[in-house]
């Protein structure tokens, strides 16, 4: 703000402070961070991966597909490390957490492809939405973390969406019948449980 003729010099500093604080407030307006965009991109990629995995599940053994999921990621991860360099790592927590996550993920991905082979994708993939629900007690036990009310509301909405995909106007219990009658749905629910463990363990590895 330009000082007005005859305005005391001391007041100029006050006006300048007001202008600076206004600029600061403008820059502090919350915007969607990179993490949210990455989360959205991950969700879109996961949906595409599910459809492609379903196409492969009937053509190759689940064990081969599980190993391929890790094997073909190695060149990409190695190139990324060469580009960005190795970040600081706490090896005392990184190594056991990574080994634990890798072992559990091999089992989980094996079951994932078995589930897709055993049942249609609409009866299997939505059950992975239960991962955040299973993660609550595990994250509390390993990390001492609990979601806030907004996080809890988000989990409820995700699970409600998964329930709605299986809901039938004739019976509200239809999703639970699918769970107990359909082998693919049961396997995918086990995958969701295993992924809730690996996600928590992986956070231990990177913190």
What DSSP designation does 169 have? T
- Residue range 49-84, pLDDT digits in tens: 888 888 888 888 999 999 998 888 889 989 998 998
Hey, CA dihedral for 167, 168, 171, 176, is it positive or negative? negative
pTM: 0.71
- Residue range 79-112, pLDDT digits in tens: 998 998 888 888 888 899 999 999 999 999 999 9
pLDDT of 11 > 70? The answer is no
Bigger pLDDT: 153 vs 18? 153
The pLDDT score that the predictor gives to residue 106 is 93
Burial profile 40-79: b = 16 or more Cβ within 10 angstroms, e = fewer: eeeeeeeeeebeebbeebeeeebeebbeebeeeeeeeeee
Q: What's the 3-state SS for 97-159?
A: HHHHHHHHHHHHHHHHHHHHHHCCHHHCHHHHHHHHHHHHHHHHHHHCCCCCHHHHHHHHHHH
pLDDT of 197 > 80? The answer is yes
Three-state SS at 59: coil
């Amino acid at each position: 703000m330009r000082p007005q003729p005859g305005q005391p010099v001391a007041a100029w500093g006050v006006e300048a402070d007001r202008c600076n604080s206004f600029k600061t407030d403008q820059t502090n307006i919350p915007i969607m961070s990179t993490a949210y965009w990455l989360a959205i991109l991950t969700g879109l990629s996961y949906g595409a991966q599910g459809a492609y995995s379903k196409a492969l599940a009937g053509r190759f053994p689940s064990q081969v597909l599980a190993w391929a999921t890790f094997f073909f990621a190695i060149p990409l991860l190695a190139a990324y490390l060469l580009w960005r360099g190795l970040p600081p790592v706490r090896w005392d927590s990184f190594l056991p957490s990574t080994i634990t996550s890798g072992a559990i993920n091999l089992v989980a991905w094996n079951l994932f492809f078995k589930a897709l082979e055993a049942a249609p994708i609409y009866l299997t993939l939505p059950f992975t939405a239960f991962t955040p629900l299973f993660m609550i007690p595990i994250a509390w036990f390993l990390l001492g973390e609990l979601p806030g009310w907004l996080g809890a509301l988000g989990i409820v909405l995700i699970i409600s969406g998964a329930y709605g995909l299986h809901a039938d106007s004739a019976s509200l219990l239809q999703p639970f019948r699918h769970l107990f009658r359909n082998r693919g749905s049961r396997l995918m629910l086990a995958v969701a449980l295993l992924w809730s463990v690996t996600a928590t363990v992986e956070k231990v590895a990177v913190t």
